Amino acid sequence: MANIKSQMKRNRQNEKARERNKAVRSEVKTRVKQAETSAAEGAENAAEAHRLAVKKIDKAVKKGVLHKNTAARRKSRLAKRLAAASAE
């Protein structure tokens, strides 16, 4: 444990940020998984699920949880998977 007052505060801030980032990352994973499963099943809401997944990825970038290039890569891979699933 830190002895310096500013470091104690920084530790508290880091813990709050960690919890927030964890929640955002979890939501991104959930939405991406839902989009993939709905596309694989050929559900009529696959386009909507994809839109929500992309939206969550973009919000994660805006909040600083994901890097913009990471988000672009994830969106690209998701779109490729959805296109392949709809082609089948």
* CATH of span 5-87: 1.20.58.110
Residue 19, burial from CB neighbour count under 10 angstroms (0-12, 13-18, 19+): exposed
Q: Where are the domains of the chain?
A: 5-87
pLDDT value of position 11 = 96
Q: What is the pLDDT of residues 22-76, one digit of tens each?
A: 999 999 999 999 999 998 888 788 899 999 999 999 999 999 999 999 999 999 9
What span, in angstroms and rounded, lies between the C-alpha atoms of 3 and 26?
33
Q: What percent of the chain has pLDDT over 70?
A: 100
Model pLDDT, residue 42: 80
pLDDT in tens, 8-37: 999 999 999 999 999 999 999 999 999 999
**Radius of gyration in angstroms for the set of CA atoms belonging to the chain, rounded to a whole number:** 17
